[in-house]
Amino acid sequence: MASFHGNKINPDRLSFGQWKFFTFLITLSVFMILPIIFIFSQALKPVDELFLYPPKLFVHHPTWGNFAQLFSVSNVAAVPKTKYLFNSILVTAAVVFLSIVLCSMTGFALSKKEFKMKKVVFEINIIALMFVPAAVTIPRYLVVQKLYLMDSYWGHILPMLSLPVGVFLVKQFVDQIPNALIEAAKLDGANDYYVFRKLVIPMIMPALATVSILAFQLAWNNSETSTLFMSKETLKTFAFYMSTLTTTTAMENNIAGQGMAAAAALLMFIPNLLIFIFMQSKVMDTMAHSGLK
């Protein structure tokens, strides 16, 4: 029994016996974040360091020059970079908000309401967890075209809104709310909307935080809808602009462009990181109920 208490799961404090785990974990973590540190370093390098031979991993004299260049140099279409950023922010905000609304409504009904199609809808959603959107790019293109969503913000937003994982996680989380609580509110004369708004929503905040992170990553990192559905340059997103900076030819012929591309990559990454750091404890809370049976 002594050895068992010596290294148990989820220990309260550091102890010498944990050194093996730390050795592996720190080695692997370094490997995982090295490419990310590289983006930071590359984004802050002045031009002469980007040209340096032999190449150096870390920046010596960091500068904001690449960022200044990113926002001042105009591209072929002469669209200001802030317009791409604005589009990304608008689309992402809409996707996050609508995903929260959709997932919470559906999750609530699938968990706490009784209706005829309940089992069927839940099963369909489970099957949809295994769905690969990339496989139906062509029919989706046709659907977006038929709905006249080409060259509109809805063409960005709508394709991002089916989030079966989000519905599933919210449903699992609502399952944790005791039925008695809802019955009690009903006896006091509350209708479904009131129960949903005032009782359920405040209790499932961790799950909604998780949905918002997933939706954020999906929308913010997405360049496909710009490529496929937008022909007007002014409607395209920052992720799309990012992808034009990193085509092989653009990168290899233009070393100065590498610093600019790294600056843009950093702008893509930072919001993802910040949001996750702020919400990580809520995400772990939600994931505890993520099991599939």
Partner 1 sequence: MKPATVKAIKNELSAYGFISPFLLIFTVLVVVPVVTAIYLSFTDFNSIQTPKFIGLTNYVNLITQDNAFMMYVLPNTLKFALLVGPGGYLLSFWLAWLLAQIPRRSRTVLALAIYSPSLTAAVAMAVVWLVIFSGNASGYLNHFLMSLAIINEPIQWTQSPHYLMPIMVTVSLWNSMGVGFLAMLAGILNINGEMYEAGYIDGIRTRLQEVWYITIPSMKPQMLFGAVMAVVGTFQAGAIGVQLSGANPTPQNAGQLMVNHIEDYGFLRYDMGYASAVSVVLLIIVYGFSKLCWRLFGESD
- Residues of this chain, 166-205, that bind partner 1 according to CB under 8 A: 167, 191-192, 196
Query: Which of positions 219-238 make contact with partner 1 (CB under 8 A)?
Result: 220-221, 223, 228
The residue among 261, 163, 263 whose CA lies nearest residue 213 is 163
Is residue 269 at the binding interface for partner 1, with CB under 8 A as the rule? yes
* CB of residue 12 to partner 1, shortest distance in Å: 6
Task: Decide: helix, strand or coil at residue 6.
Answer: helix
Which residues lie closer than 8 Å to 273 by C-beta, 6 or more apart? Answer: none
Identified binder of partner 1 from the candidate list 6, 28, 58, 73, rule CB under 8 A: 28
Q: What's the maximum distance between 2 C-alpha atoms anywhere in the chain? A: 76
Return the range that interacts with partner 1 (CB under 8 A); candidates 26-34, 60-68, 69-77, 174-182: 26-34
Question: Rounded to an integer, what distance in angstroms lies between the CA atom of residue 39 and that of residue 45?
Answer: 10
Return the range that interacts with partner 1 (CB under 8 A); candidates 19-27, 72-80, 174-182, 201-209: 19-27
Angular region, 151: left φ>0, alpha ψ -120 to 50, beta rest: left
Identified binder of partner 1 from the candidate list 214, 230, 235, 279, rule CB under 8 A: 214
Return the range that interacts with partner 1 (CB under 8 A); candidates 61-69, 75-83, 174-182, 259-267: 259-267
* CB of residue 160 to partner 1, shortest distance in Å: 9
| Count of residues in contact with partner 1, rule CB under 8 A | 110
Amino acid at the residue 264: A
Identified binder of partner 1 from the candidate list 110, 204, 207, 209, rule CB under 8 A: 110
Amino acid at the residue 172: Q
Binding pattern for the stretch 70-109 against partner 1, x by CB under 8 A and - elsewhere: -------------------------------xxx-xx-xx
Angle (nearest 5°) at CA 272 between 196 and 156: 70
Rounded to 10°, the helix 255-287/164-174 angle is 30
Question: Rounded to an integer, what distance in angstroms lies between the CA atom of residue 13 and that of residue 64?
Answer: 41
Eight-state DSSP code of residue 197: I
Identified binder of partner 1 from the candidate list 9, 78, 180, 187, rule CB under 8 A: 9
- Alpha-carbon 110 to chain mean position: 24
Task: Decide: helix, strand or coil at residue 171.
Answer: helix
Is residue 6 at the binding interface for partner 1, with CB under 8 A as the rule? no
* CB of residue 47 to partner 1, shortest distance in Å: 14
Task: Decide: helix, strand or coil at residue 232.
Answer: coil
Is residue 59 at the binding interface for partner 1, with CB under 8 A as the rule? no
* CB of residue 104 to partner 1, shortest distance in Å: 9
- Contact (Cβ atoms closer than 8 angstroms) between residue 170 and residue 196: no
- Contact (Cβ atoms closer than 8 angstroms) between residue 43 and residue 259: yes
Binding pattern for the stretch 120-159 against partner 1, x by CB under 8 A and - elsewhere: -x--x--xxxxxxxxxxxxxx-xx---x----------xx
Return the range that interacts with partner 1 (CB under 8 A); candidates 70-78, 79-87, 117-125, 175-183: 117-125
Identified binder of partner 1 from the candidate list 6, 7, 75, 234, rule CB under 8 A: 7
Is residue 57 at the binding interface for partner 1, with CB under 8 A as the rule? yes
